[in-house]
Amino acid sequence: MRVFIGYDPREAVAFSVLAHSIHVRASGPVSVAPLMLSELKGLFTRERHPLQSTDFAFSRFLTPHLSGYEGWSVFLDCDMLVLDDIANLWRLRDERYAVMVVKHDHQPRETIKFLDQPQTAYPKKNWSSVMLFNNARCRALTPEYVNTASGLELHQFKWLSDEGLIGELPRTWNHLVGYYKPAPGVSLVHYTLGGPYFDEYRDCEYAEEWRQELARMLACTQRVAR
């Protein structure tokens, strides 16, 4: 199971906790790779957009290319926590589709989010924060296209010939904290406004679950250090 996670130095701890939450619950082999701009030099060349809130706003669409356009891959934003076996997401792969997402009707109420970043509203917002890519059917996502296409072309899946190629995942696999009410059985928590690793959001919903995951990860590190 191939998982790519968006990486931003300002949220480095979020990446590590998310990766840990995936590994400790996985029932089968899983590889987790960060999409770090420092590792994509020469491949990802587009300049940062004024409305871009994270380093991985556009690099996420290189996932099929980095997978050799073979098999399936998962992309996740880093501001998340997995509370389920990632194999349960992997089992939802459906060859009828080129990409599978949670189809939110997300209409932000605020204009600013974490670190004073601008909040933008557009159709299909947050659909691309969790993507299950059928890589062979995403060959339109070449590095050249990813580097030059507009943000809306990428995030609204205009690189697909037909919207019928977008499959739907259960909402439990992209629970938007602060928008959806806490619910039992949530598989993936998305701190889209800001995670509990920022002081302003330390008391957000599912903050305690994130801190517990951080503590378990650090406990493993301490045991190894001994």
Which pLDDT tens digit goes with each residue over 122-150?
678 899 999 999 999 999 999 999 999 99
Statement: residue 106 has pLDDT above 80? no
The answer for 116, left when phi > 0, alpha when psi is -120 to 50, beta otherwise, is left
Which pLDDT tens digit goes with each residue over 5-15?
999 999 999 99
Task: Quote the tokens at residue 2.
Answer: 């191939």
Architecture of domain 2-225: Alpha-Beta Complex (3.90)
pLDDT at 225: 54
Higher-scoring residue by pLDDT: 115, 36? 36
For the ranges 38-42, 46-50, 94-98, 115-119, the lowest mean pLDDT is seen at 115-119
What is the rounded distance in angstroms from the CA atom of residue 150 to the CA atom of residue 158?
10
Which pLDDT tens digit goes with each residue over 143-198?
999 999 999 999 999 999 999 999 999 999 999 998 899 888 999 999 998 999 99
Higher-scoring residue by pLDDT: 106, 54? 54
Statement: residue 110 has pLDDT above 60? no
Please identify which residue in the block is written with the tokens 């990802």.
Answer: 44
pTM over 0.85: yes
Mean predicted lDDT score pLDDT of the chain: 91
pLDDT at 112: 54
For the ranges 51-55, 58-62, 68-72, the lowest mean pLDDT is seen at 51-55
**Taking residues 74-101, what's their average pLDDT?**
98
Higher-scoring residue by pLDDT: 198, 53? 198
pLDDT at 76: 98
Task: Quote the tokens at residue 72.
Answer: 């399936």
What is the rounded distance in angstroms from the CA atom of residue 98 to the CA atom of residue 138?
6
Distances (CA, A) of 56 to 60, 68, 136, 145, 202: 6, 19, 22, 16, 23
pLDDT at 47: 87
Largest alpha-carbon pair distance within the chain? 55
